[in-house]
Amino acid sequence: MIPPPEARRAQGDAAEERACRHLEGEGLTIVERNFRTKGGEIDIVARKGDLLVFVEVRSREDADFGTPEESVTPAKRRRIVAAARQYLSNVPPSSWREARFDVIAIEGVGNAAVLRHYPAAFDAKGKTL
């Protein structure tokens, strides 16, 4: 049974919050959440020095329909890259030197949920690394 949209949004918000805590624990600073453009969205934009990190957060209660990270399809990666380009067009080029695309997958519920972080999961062409 598919949960109602409110429940899915709450689960997504909780996953993003946990991902932010994880990233902060890794020494990154969260600079933006849910950056939206006409063609896509970036869940989290984080920074560490002159490195910008665009993070896609995916969560699932179980892997009955595949793992969360498997749901980051080529089309989804292209939308994230397009949104990142839009984001970068709005910040001074001197404020960053490098950018990467990470995926954070959260599988399970509550304290039993497992977080998997994939730094540099794909490149600016949307190709998995």
Kindly state whether residue 127 falls inside one of the protein's structural domains: no
In a domain, 25, yes or no: yes
> Over the Cα atoms of the chain, what is R_g?
14
* pTM score: 0.90
For each of the chain's 129 residues, which pLDDT tens digit applies? 566 777 677 778 889 999 999 999 999 999 999 999 998 999 999 999 999 999 999 998 876 778 899 999 999 999 999 999 999 999 999 999 999 999 999 998 877 899 999 999 999 887 776
Residue 111 domain flag: yes
Q: Per the structure, how many domains does the chain have?
A: 1
CATH number of the domain to which 90 belongs? 3.40.1350.10
What is the torsion angle, in degrees rounded to the nearest 10, for the CA atoms of residue 120, residue 50, residue 79 and residue 69? Answer: 30
Considering the domain boundaries, does residue 35 fall inside one?
yes
Which two tokens mark 45? Answer: 């934009």
What's the rounded Cα separation, in Å, for the pair 6 and 116? 25
Element (H, E) at 19: helix 5-25
Q: Residue 63 belongs to what domain range?
A: 5-122
Residue 12 · residue 59 · CB < 8 Å: yes
Residue 129 located in a structural domain: no
